[in-house]
Structures are given as C-alpha cells and as structure tokens.
Amino acid sequence: MNSGERFVQTLRKAGYPKAPQLDGEDFDWLFETTNAKPFLDWFCASITEQNVVPDEKLQAFKELKESGKAILDEKGVSEVLKTCNPTNTKIATMEDVAIEKLEEEVESLQKLKNVRIHRRNKLQMVASGNSQLSMKLQNLEEEDAKKLKEILRALEGTNNRLNNELSSIVQGVRELMSFFTIPEEGCEMSSPTFLFQILLDKYLSSEEQHTAAITSFIKEHFDEGFSMCMQDSDGNVQHLPQGSEKTSEHTFDEKNMETLKLQLAYTGTKHKLIQSKAKGASFKAGLKWAEGHASSFQNKVGNQENLQARISSLNSEITQIQTQIDAIKQDRILELVKQNAQLLNMPILKGNYDLQLAHHQSYSKKQDVVGNHLLKQKASFEFLQLGYELELKKHRKVYLQLTDITENLKESANKLDERLLMMSDLSVLSSTKPRSNLDSKDTASHRLYQLLDGDQTQKLFRTYSGLESVAQKLNQDVTTLKDQLSVVEQEQALFLSKLDANLKSLQDFMYPEGKELLLNTPEVANHFQQLDSQLDRLNHVLLEVLEDLKVKRNILQSNKMHQIEKKLYVHFFQNEGQLKSIVESVESQTHVHPST
C-alpha cells in the first residue's frame, strides 16, 4: 500500500465523512514533496477512532462553554489526569511509542526552520536589490528617452535606404523579366538568351531535305526486297516497302526444284551404273568359275547324285547372297548415292552462296552509309532535345524560387499590415496619464494575469499593481519550490548513500570473500545436512520396523498360541478388567479339569 492510500485509510478509520470520495494517488505528493512526511507517518500510524472527539462531547463542551462555568486550563487538566492512574499509564505508553516519531518531526521542523531563515535572508537581499534597481531604472529611463530619439532618427535613415533598395530590386526584376520574353510567332529575337527563343524552321527544313535524299537513295539502291525504317525531321517513322519479296521466294523455290531434279537424276543414273557394274562383275565371276571347274565337271560326269547335292547347296548360297545384295542395295548403296548426290550440288550451292554474300556485302556497305547519316540526324535531334530538357529544368527551378519569394513577400506584407493596424490602435498608444487598470482590449495582459493568478473567473477590473503582485508571488513560489527541491535532493542523496551502503553489505554477505553466490547461510546448510542424515536414519528404522512387523504377522498367522498371547497383551495394556476376567475363567477351567 502506498503512502496516499494509507493516509486515506487513516481518515476512514477516524470517521471522516468524505473519506470514501478521496483517491489515495492524489495525496502521494504530500509524502514526496513536503517536509511534513514524519508527521504524516505518525498520523497514519497512531490516529484511530479513539482520537476523534464525538459529536456528543463537542455539544456538551459547547453547552459548558455557553453556561459560563470555569474551564480547566492545561495545568488543571494535568493535575486531574495525575489522579487517573490508568489513563496516565496509557498516555505514558503512547508518549513512549511516539517519541521517536516526534524526534523525527522535530528534525524536520528544524530543517524547515533553516530553509525559511535562508529564504528570509534571500528575500532581504532581493528587497535591497529592488531598491537599488529602482534608483538605476530612473537613470535608465532618461538614457532610454535619448536613445529612443536616436533610434527614431536611425529608423528614418533605414527607411530611406530600404526604399532605395526596393526600387533597385524592382528595376532588377524588370531587367530579369526582359530575358524571359517569349518571341511572337514567326519572328525571331535579335539577341536570344535562351534556346527556346531561337526559331528552328531553317534547321527543320534542311533536315527534311536530308531525309528526302536518304529516302530516294534507299529506294534507288535497295530495290531487291530489302526493307528499312528511318525517321523524318518530325520524328515520325517511315517504312520503306519490301520490293520483290514474292519474286525472290519464287526464284528460291525454282532453284530448289532444279537442285532436287539434279539429285534425282544423279541417283537414278548412279543406281543403274551400279547395277550394270554388278551384273558385269557377276558375269565375269561366273565365266571365271566355269573355266576353272570345266575340267572337274568332265571328270565327274558319272556322279549325278553329288552334282545334284552340290547344285542345291549352291542355290541356297545364291539365295543368301541375293538377300545380302538386296539389303546392300536398299541401305548402304542408297545412302551412299544420296550423299554423293548432295556432294554433287556443293559447287552449285557454293557459287549461289558466294553470289548472295557479295550482294549482302554491297547491301551492308550501303546500310552503313545510310546508318551513319541517320545516326548523325538522330544525334542532332537528341542533342537539341537534351538542351531543351536542361533549359526546362533550370526554368522550373527558377520558377519555384520565384514562387517561394512571392509567398514570403506576401506573408511579410500581411505581417506589416497587421503591425500597422495594431500600432494604429488607440489602446496600444502610450498616453501622458498612466493607467492603473488593465484595458479590456488588452487581451494579452488579461491572459497573463489569469495565467499567473490561476483564477479563471471574469473580473471587472484588473490592475497593473495586482499583476505585479501576482508575478512577485509566483517568483516567491518558485524560490520556495527550489528550496524544497534542494532539501528533497539532500534527503534523496542521504537515502541513496544509505541504500548503497546496505547494498554493499548485502553484496559482501551474499558473496563472501569474492567467491560464488551464497544462496543460504552456513548455519542453515548445517541444519539441512543434519535433517537429511536424520531422515535417512528414520527411513532405515522404518524399513527395519516394517520387516519386523511382517515377520511377526507371519508368526501370528502360523501359531495360534501367539495369537492368544497377543490378545492378552492387548487386554493388559488397554483393558485390565477384561484380562482379569479371562485369567479367572482360565483358572476356573484348570480347577475343573483336574477334578474331573
């Protein structure tokens, strides 16, 4: 709970009727900025409902006072209180409890006394300084009157110089505007300053003539299907017609047809030549084979069966050879013939390509000539366009600067009109008779008075002396706040020093001898170790007891005599009468058994 909440809670305990309407945060500044913090702490800690005088006692005291009877003074009350021992002891205990707080309150009051004495000395010094200042101000008033006359003379001279400078500026602006005159249509200025003032009719007509000459040159030398595009003087693109595109395609198709015919003729003749050569070679081989085997056939005429077998084997070999020959005719020979046919056209194609290359070289030379002329023309147009763009950029910059100057001049003229209007107001003009009250039209002084006084209500009359007193009061409040702030800073410095010392001691305690952080004290650590060892022993004892208990339960379950013994022990410790009756019954039974 913060200090303000404690204060409001104490007021509620004391029975203050408006305490529920109060907010604790609104009273925090009392504990932070004033010197009455010890008293407020004592008030919050000590005041209860018993310290509040009830309404009945107040009414009785009022009736006693109105009756005219004698009322005891402080000495009489103290003597009467001495006779009441319980009350005296109670008061003594309260005094013993609050003596430390009263000592703190005495110290705070002593500090407040020193602050006020210091403030009184300052105020005395300020008063003496004000008296000296008033003497100086009288002398300064006379000097200021002389200076005012000199300033008026200087202002008149400055005004004359300003008028002369303004006239020279106007003349310079007129001369500057003469450079930006726009020429009339069809007329050229005698001495143009900027590029836009120059007429370009002659230049454009010459460029159009160059364009027409280039166009005629292109139509004259590029009449074989060549197409180009160019620009005229106005920047329009002209496309030259493609002259004989269809005729060139037709001639190209005819050349291809002739080439194909030659390839087919070569292929057919080559195929026939190969077949005739193959037939001749086969005929020669047959003759040679017949000549070589004629003698053997004469010797083997009688063996017809061997000949028939030989003929059948030869026929099968002939069919195999024939299939191989057909495959060679269809695959290898056809491919080789086609390749030779293509090689046959190579000289023709080479001559055709050489002719086309020569044509293209002549075209490229003519294109270079035309391209150089067009590049020169384009460069001249781009250079002219760049000049216009740079000039336009500079003109825009000048236009923006002139616009800013115009706006500044208009703003200065408006301010000058406002000053002249304010200076022509009679309420502002100084009069020979000084006024004691603030003028109702002097809104600035009224607002200053409200700001210094803090009173927002409308008053009929406000005086300059009241304004001065309010300003002095504000100055005194500022000095008081500064003094209080110095006291608070001292207390804060003392508190910070104590806090640093406590932090240092805490650090020494938490980090003994610069070692690691000590999370607990050695005493606590020893106690924890003892507890751990005791817990271990207790756990061991419990385990032993549980083992013993299991053994005894097993014995009881197996031996009936031990069960009876257990019951007797239970009766011995819990019910002696029951044990006695059981023993007597057993004794009687023992006496009965022998007799029988």
Q: What pLDDT does residue 497 have? A: 87
Report CA-CA distances (Å) from 301 to 160, 306, 345, 585: 159, 10, 58, 156
Please name the residue that has the structure tokens 């067009």: 374
- Could you identify the residue written with the tokens 């008028």? 163
CA-CA distance, 174 to 168, in Å (whole number)? 10
Q: Which helix (H) or strand (E) holds 30?
A: helix 28-33
Q: What is the pLDDT of residue 571?
A: 78
The answer to whether residues 508 and 563 belong to one domain is: no
**pLDDT value at position 284?**
79
The rounded average pLDDT for each run of 10 residues, N- to C-terminus, in the chain (596 residues) is 77 79 75 71 77 76 73 62 53 57 78 82 79 78 86 89 88 78 62 73 84 84 50 43 49 69 73 76 75 61 64 75 71 70 72 82 84 87 89 89 90 89 68 64 77 66 79 87 89 88 80 66 76 89 90 84 80 81 81 58
405 and 315 both lie in a single domain: yes
Are 533 and 514 members of one domain? no
Q: Is residue 262 part of a domain?
A: no
What range defines the domain where residue 573 resides?
Answer: 522-595
Q: Is 277 inside a domain boundary?
A: no
Q: Are residues 331 and 414 in the same domain?
A: yes
For residue 307, the model assigns a pLDDT of 65
Question: Contacts by 222-230 with C-beta closer than 8 Å and gap 24+?
Answer: 222/363, 222/366, 224/248, 224/359, 226/363, 228/367, 228/370, 230/370, 230/374
Question: Where does a domain end: 462, 490, 518?
Answer: 518
Residues in the chain: 596
Q: Based on the domain organization, do 314 and 228 belong to the same domain?
A: no
Q: Which pLDDT does position 232 carry in this prediction?
A: 43
Contacts of residue 79, defined as CB under 8 A and 6 or more positions apart, other chains included, come to: none
Strands 237-239 and 229-231, bridge-based pairing: antiparallel
Number of domains within the chain: 4
Record the pTM. Answer: 0.33
Written as six digits, the tokens of 71 are 């009322």
Greatest alpha-carbon pair distance for the chain in Å reads 195
Residue type, 243: G
Same-domain check for residues 501 and 555: no
pLDDT of residue 414: 92
Cα separation values, 460 from 50, 433, 453, Å? 50, 21, 15
Give the per-residue pLDDT at 364: 85
Which of 496, 518, 540 delimits the end of a domain?
518
Q: Whole-angstrom Cα distance, residue 249 to residue 253?
A: 6
62 within some domain: no
Sign of the alpha-carbon dihedral angle for 28, 34, 40, 42: positive
Domain identity same for 552 and 492:
no
Q: Give the integer Cα–Cα distance in Å for 493 and 109.
A: 19
> Is position 76 within any domain?
no
Helices (H) and strands (E) counted in the chain, each on its own, are: 15, 2
Q: Are residues 544 and 526 in the same domain?
A: yes
Same domain, residue pair 319 and 356 = yes
What local confidence, expressed as pLDDT, does residue 408 receive?
A: 92
Instruction: Round to whole Å and give the CA distance between 518 and 512.
Output: 7
CA angle 294, 295, 298 (to 5 degrees): 90
Residues 335 and 413 occupy one common structural domain: yes
